[in-house]
Amino acid sequence: MKNIIDTDGLSFKDLFFFNKMITPKIITIVYWISLILIAISGLVIIFSSLFLFRYSFGTGLMGIISGILTIIVGSVFTRIGYELISILFNINKNIEKLASNKSIDNKNP
């Protein structure tokens, strides 16, 4: 089975100093946990709105619609947010590569 988090090359020292970034390694797990929590909250809204039908049909219907919208909109915006974070770390990685290539080029005239 493929490892979800690649921990090769990480030491305990990396937790306290910022020589290596740990966030890109755990962002996938945090994303899936966020999606699960969004789905649970949307389902709670939907099921709790079923009890509102005894008071008013419109209120119950709005609860169901808001639960569905919570799941859809929450999932989309969560994906966008985590993609933006991921893009920032990819930019950082590419800048590190450029800096290391430039330092190697400066050493070898």
Residue from 46, 39, 73, 42 nearest 62 by CA: 46
pTM equals 0.74
- Can you give the pLDDT at residue 91? 92
| CB neighbour list of residue 26: distance below 8 Å, 6 or more residues apart | 5
- Can you give the pLDDT at residue 1? 47
| CB neighbour list of residue 69: distance below 8 Å, 6 or more residues apart | none
* pLDDT band per the 50, 70, 90 thresholds, residue 38: very high
